[in-house]
């Protein structure tokens, strides 16, 4: 029988179950912040199967969220990569690391670095999660040609074909048959597991590298735009921080956007102005001061925001907000002609488009 530690929340008093799960998960991988909407009556089962330096932990648990924060990483960093194999019947998970946010379901796999901040969270409160976690010391996962696995962190990897399917079949079989193997089998099982993991990651990196240069460029631009959209509120968002998040130099980032309509900085400014415009057009936010909306979307100086907004939309933000209210009430009571701001059809349509407060 392979060395195994089993844990079930039924063996713990009800009020201690989530805390016990947090502690047990931390021993299986690394200390994590674990929360659940089911904290009052938490349920989960997990086994930890040791294969030398590598471990497998099959898990079946209610909806949960796991976070590795900078503070937790400073407290304990075992230097592990973690791979999750999502089993049939599992609910979906959202994974966030290095600015990437992806969704994973049954027969998917994903790789994360436990030495970097991350979040893994159930997408639906009523779904159970079923999977097998794999913990591998970083130094054991060496890819040919000094390839860097950072490009794969958080990405959805398929367990339906190729090395992914072989890996899924292997880990599920080892977990199911762990009573059949002897401790003397551990070195061989360990070697096969590492070979399959290396083959999976190397094949994924090779597939991406084989894409046409323009396809690679467009893919990277899409990832950068997605990163910008997710971080518009961050006052530190800049070409420098974006480049660092995608393992690019600032020069490489600007070169990627050379054929785009807008530079990186102009795209950030356009998107921030668009978000601010929609809030100005939202009647529910009428009580929110202009400078608060401006600061929320990356414009700490009101004068700068007013100039940028006037340049983009042809009027100052205060006038735009007034026009939005006139458009909202146009069907019920047309405003007096002398009281209306003078606007173009394009401006009026712009306000109407934003009226959904999105």
- The CA-based diameter of the chain, rounded to the nearest angstrom, is 91
The CATH number given to whatever domain includes residue 176 is: 2.60.120.10
Q: What is the pLDDT of residue 343?
A: 41
Least confident of 3-12, 25-34, 212-221: 212-221
Residues, the chain:
358
User: Do residue 198 and residue 297 come from a single domain?
Assistant: no
Q: Are residue 45 and residue 185 in the same domain, yes or no?
A: yes
> Model-level pTM greater than 0.75?
no
Q: Are residues 159 and 93 in the same domain?
A: yes
Q: How many domains does the chain have?
A: 3
pLDDT digits (tens, 9 = 90+) for 45-69: 999 999 999 999 999 999 999 999 9
**Shared-domain flag, residues 113 and 232:** no
154 and 276, same domain (yes or no): no
Q: 311 in the Ramachandran plot: left (φ > 0), alpha (ψ -120 to 50) or beta? A: alpha
84 & 204 share domain: yes
Helix (H, G, I), strand (E, B) or coil at 103: strand
- List the one residue out of 324, 331, 316, 313 whose CA is nearest residue 351: 324
Q: What range defines the domain where residue 164 resides?
A: 4-209
Residues 141 and 180 in one domain: yes
Give residue 83's pLDDT.
Answer: 96
> 67 and 79 share a domain?
yes
Of 167, 182, 209, the residue at which a domain comes to its end is: 209
| Co-location of 61 and 142 in the same domain | yes
Tell me what the mean pLDDT of segment 76-104 comes to: 92
> Which helix or strand (DSSP H or E) is residue 98 part of?
none
- Residue ranges with strand state E in 25-117: 33-35, 44-51, 54-61, 65-68, 80-86, 93-97, 100-104, 108-113
Q: Is 1 exposed, middle or buried (0-12, 13-18, 19+ CB in 10 A)?
A: exposed
User: 217 pLDDT band (50/70/90 cuts)?
Assistant: confident
Structure confidence at residue 161 as a pLDDT band (50, 70, 90): confident
Same domain, 231 and 152: no
The answer to whether residues 118 and 58 belong to one domain is yes
Same domain as 154, residue 19: yes
Are 235 and 182 spatial neighbours (Cβ–Cβ below 8 Å)? no
Band of pLDDT at residue 210, cut at 50, 70 and 90: low
Last residue of a domain, one of 232, 260, 288: 260
For residue 223, give Cα distances in angstroms to 149, 244, 256: 17, 13, 12
* 10, two tokens: 């039924």
- Give percent of the chain above pLDDT 90: 55
pLDDT one-digit tens code per residue, 239-282:
999 998 887 889 999 999 998 889 999 999 999 999 999 999 98
pLDDT band of 80, cuts 50, 70, 90: very high
């Amino acid at each position: 029988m392979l060395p195994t530690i089993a844990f079930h929340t039924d063996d713990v008093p009800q009020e201690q179950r989530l805390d016990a799960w947090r502690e047990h998960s931390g021993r299986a991988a690394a200390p994590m912040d674990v929360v659940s909407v089911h904290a009052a009556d938490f349920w989960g089962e997990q086994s930890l199967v040791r294969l030398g330096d590598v471990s497998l932990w099959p898990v079946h648990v209610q909806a949960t969220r796991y976070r590795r924060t900078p503070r937790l990483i400073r407290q304990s960093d075992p230097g592990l990569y973690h791979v999750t194999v999502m089993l049939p019947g599992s609910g979906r998970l959202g994974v966030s690391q290095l600015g990437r946010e992806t969704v994973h379901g049954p027969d998917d796999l994903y790789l994360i670095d436990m030495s970097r901040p991350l979040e893994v969270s159930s997408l639906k409160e009523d779904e159970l999660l079923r999977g097998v976690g794999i913990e591998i010391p970083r130094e054991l996962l060496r890819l040919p040609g000094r390839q860097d696995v950072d490009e794969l962190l958080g990405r959805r990897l398929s367990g339906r074909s190729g090395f992914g399917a072989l890996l899924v079949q292997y880990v599920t079989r080892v977990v199911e048959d762990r009573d059949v193997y002897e401790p003397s089998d551990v070195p061989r099982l360990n070697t096969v597991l590492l070979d399959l993991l290396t083959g999976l990651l190397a094949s994924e990196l090779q597939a991406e590298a084989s894409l046409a240069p323009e396809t690679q460029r467009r893919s990277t631009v899409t990832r950068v735009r997605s990163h910008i959209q997710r971080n518009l509120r961050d006052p530190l968002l800049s070409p420098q921080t974006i480049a660092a998040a995608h393992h690019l130099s600032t020069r490489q980032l600007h070169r990627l956007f050379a054929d785009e309509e807008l530079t990186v900085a102009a795209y950030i400014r356009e998107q921030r102005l668009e978000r601010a415009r929609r809030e100005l057009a939202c009647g529910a936010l009428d009580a929110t001061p202009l400078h608060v909306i401006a600061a929320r979307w990356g414009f700490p100086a009101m004068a700068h925001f007013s100039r940028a907004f006037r340049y983009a939309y042809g009027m100052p933000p205060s006038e735009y907000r007034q026009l939005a209210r006139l458009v909202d009430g146009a069907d019920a009571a047309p405003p007096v002609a002398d009281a209306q701001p003078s606007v173009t059809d394009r401006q009026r349509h712009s306000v109407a488009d934003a009226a959904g407060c999105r």
